[in-house]
Amino acid sequence: MAGDKGPRRAPQEAVRAVREDIIRGVFAPGERLTEDALAARYGVSRVPVREALRVLEAEGFVEAKPYVGVFVRELSEAEAEDLLELRSVIEPMCAARAARNRTPEQLGRLKELVSLGWDAVRDGRLEEVPRLNSRFHEVIAEASGSEVLGQMIRQLSQKIAWVYAVGLTLRAEDSWREHEEILAALSAGDADRASALLGQHILRATTAYRRRVRTEAGDPIG
Amino acid sequence: MAGDKGPRRAPQEAVRAVREDIIRGVFAPGERLTEDALAARYGVSRVPVREALRVLEAEGFVEAKPYVGVFVRELSEAEAEDLLELRSVIEPMCAARAARNRTPEQLGRLKELVSLGWDAVRDGRLEEVPRLNSRFHEVIAEASGSEVLGQMIRQLSQKIAWVYAVGLTLRAEDSWREHEEILAALSAGDADRASALLGQHILRATTAYRRRVRTEAGDPIG
DNA sequence: GGGCGAGGGAGTGTATACGAGAATGGTGGG
DNA sequence: CCCACCATTCTCGTATACACTCCCTCGCCC
């Protein structure tokens, strides 16, 4: 079906696709995902889909019950806060390393992302912002030079994007202004400043998230 | 083939089995894992093995190259330190929650693990210690009540066990004495003390690890 | 009329079979 | 003697087919 040009590697793409669909809200929390439906959706067999679902289970996006099926996980407000707090301690650590190890190529990608983020915010394409946000933080993780750390941050970042996207998108302008400052510190190789800025950045994001959740409802994030 | 008594649930067990074999050093870092060999080893088909390998890849234990195969990852000394540092900030956070949320059943399991750990140390069965160590920390993660946090710690804990096991096993007596104190704090519901003790515990483990690495060699952990 | 048990449908779990790509060894030419 | 090219082979990647489990419904009995 949709296998227009997908040449010879389906499962890795399937993971990305399903994960993005979950983050974008195409699949709602609690929803059951049937292997057949996903297979048809992506024009592949059930085997790659199964592998993708197992990966997503390991990453914490879905929950699988044996002989029953997989369901999109529902994040409680408490868990969302845990994610944010977790990031608030990990990211500064990561930023300090990134300021020392970042390559010019990575700086270039960060600059491009900041530019794209600004454009998206300015043009009101808010649905693209969480994804760009994730990628900004993922590149920083990559720039830290630690494969292990990078993988952790990557997963964490994607889940944060999910938390935000499930609710709404806001605080976009401030966020990207702060991204710009972080980029400057990284560019200058100033580890302390990069670490401090990122800590501040996460703190503000957390505060904004809490305020929004409080005012909107007391419900689970879903 | 060897479907002795496990005829009805293979893949989840396969993940555990392969992961334990990697941690125990049955499969050395850098080694190539063929699906057929693993399938034969566990008496199942290639399909569950593939799913297990994808999960382990997501967890960071192996690296998969398309159309080539999966290889056990090699952790550099820097990455091992990153893991330890990561744990040093996450675990105290986790312990504070666990002190508030732990159930009597979880306390019971912790007590049993401390007992088993002491026995293993006393009897010189040092090869069992890393696994018990992991489980102790995993139960604490579970007791924190946060599914998200628990999953993160779980993966982290397993990788730490790997780091230790690949090198050697030591500091076992002190470690389990400290486990006992942590258990006491959890039992008393003293969040501050539990958090502080766990931070201290991790710090000592990290120091011991570094000293060992320094004195033994400058090589990668593998 | 309500509760309980059996049967059917749906979907997962697993195995087998086949096609595609890459590493390896041999062979021929320079 | 060395290098490049090609074919073989091994392994991964995917699709198809079947067995087992769960859930829901319908019928029976109390």
**B47 CB neighbours strand C below 7 A:** yes
Q: Which two tokens stand for residue A159?
A: 């889940």
Q: Which two tokens stand for residue A183?
A: 């980029």
Q: Which two tokens stand for residue A56?
A: 């997503």
DSSP H helices in chain B: 11-24, 35-42, 46-59, 77-101, 104-123, 129-143, 147-167, 172-188, 191-216
Sheet of strand B62-65: strand arrangement: B32-33, B69-72, B62-65
Cβ–Cβ below 8 Å for A152 and B149: no
- pLDDT of A196 reads 74
Give the span between the Cα atoms of A38 and A46, in whole angstroms: 8
Instruction: Confirm if A209 and A163 have CB atoms less than 8 A apart.
Output: yes
A82 neighbourhood in chain B, CB within 8 Å: 146, 148-149
- Would you say the pTM of this structure is higher than 0.85? no
- pLDDT of A172 reads 57
Question: If you ran DSSP here, which 8-state letter would residue B172 be given?
Answer: H
Q: Which of B110, B134, B115 lies closest to B205 in space, CA to CA?
A: B134
Give the span between the Cα atoms of B116 and A196, in whole angstroms: 43
Which residues are CB-neighbours of A36 under 8 A, at least 6 positions away? A46
Which residues are CB-neighbours of A95 under 8 A, at least 6 positions away? A140, A144, A182, A186, A191, A194, A195, A197, A198
Cβ–Cβ below 8 Å for B60 and A146: no
Cβ–Cβ below 8 Å for B152 and A86: yes
B57 neighbourhood in chain A, CB within 8 Å: 55
**B69 CB neighbours strand D below 7 A:** yes
A81 neighbourhood in chain B, CB within 8 Å: none
Residue bearing the bigger pLDDT, B5 or B144: B144
**pLDDT tens column, B4-50:** 333 346 667 889 999 999 988 889 889 999 999 999 999 999 999 99
A216 class by beta-carbon count within 10 Å (0-12 exposed, 13-18 middle, 19+ buried)? exposed
Residue bearing the bigger pLDDT, B188 or B8: B188
Q: Which nucleotide is nearest to B36 (CA to C1')?
A: D11
Q: Would you list the DSSP string of B37-74?
A: HHHHHHTS-HHHHHHHHHHHHHHTSEEEETTTEEEE--
Residue bearing the bigger pLDDT, B164 or A53: A53
Interface test with A, best of B15, B144, B152, B163 (most A CBs within 10 A): B152
Cβ–Cβ below 8 Å for A93 and B83: no
**B45 CB neighbours strand D below 7 A:** no
Residue bearing the bigger pLDDT, B220 or B143: B143
Residue bearing the bigger pLDDT, B173 or A141: A141
| Chain A interface residues (partner B, CB cutoff 8 A) | 9, 11-12, 47, 50-51, 54-55, 57-60, 66, 73, 75, 78-79, 82-83, 85-86, 89-90, 93, 145-149, 151-152, 156, 159
Q: Which nucleotides of C are covered by protein (CB under 7 A)?
A: 11-17, 20-23
What are the 10-residue block averages of pLDDT along chain A, 222 residues in total? 42 87 88 94 93 94 93 86 86 88 92 92 81 86 86 86 66 65 70 74 66 46 36
**A9 CB neighbours strand C below 7 A:** no
- pLDDT of A11 reads 65
Residue A33 phi, psi dihedral angles, 5° rounding:
-110, 115
B60 closest CB neighbour out of A12, A66, A151? A151
pLDDT > 50? residue B133? yes
pLDDT > 50? residue B75? yes
Cβ–Cβ below 8 Å for B58 and A60: no
Give the DSSP H/E element, type plus range, for residue A192: helix A191-216
Residue B45 phi, psi dihedral angles, 5° rounding:
-85, 180
Instruction: Confirm if B142 and B150 have CB atoms less than 8 A apart.
Output: yes
**B31 CB neighbours strand D below 7 A:** no
pLDDT > 60? residue B182? yes
pLDDT tier for residue B1 given thresholds of 50, 70 and 90: very low
**A148 CB neighbours strand D below 7 A:** no
Instruction: Confirm if A104 and A146 have CB atoms less than 8 A apart.
Output: no
Q: Which of B40, B39, B41 lies closest to B49 in space, CA to CA?
A: B39
Å from A68 (CA) to C9 (C1')?
A: 14
Cβ–Cβ below 8 Å for A82 and B146: yes
Instruction: Confirm if A62 and A71 have CB atoms less than 8 A apart.
Output: yes
Instruction: Please tell me which of B66-80, B126-140, B187-201 the model is most confident about, judged by mean pLDDT.
Output: B66-80
Which residues is B70 bridged to in the sheet? B33, B64
Cβ–Cβ below 8 Å for A86 and B47: no
CA angle B167/B90/B121 to nearest 5° reads 40
B149 closest CB neighbour out of A58, A86, A147? A86
pLDDT > 90? residue B150? no
Q: Which of A85, A88, A80, A60 lies closest to A167 in space, CA to CA?
A: A80
Cβ–Cβ below 8 Å for A59 and B58: yes
Instruction: Confirm if A61 and A73 have CB atoms less than 8 A apart.
Output: yes
Q: Which two tokens stand for residue B65?
A: 């190259």
Q: Determine the residue of chain A that is closest to B50 in CA distance.
A: A51
Which residues is A72 bridged to in the sheet? A62
Which residues is B33 bridged to in the sheet? B70
Pairs from B14-17 (Cβ < 8 Å, separation ≥ 24): B14/B38, B14/B42, B14/B44, B14/B48, B14/B49, B14/B51, B14/B52, B15/B51, B15/B52, B15/B55, B15/B56, B17/B42, B17/B52
**A49 CB neighbours strand D below 7 A:** no
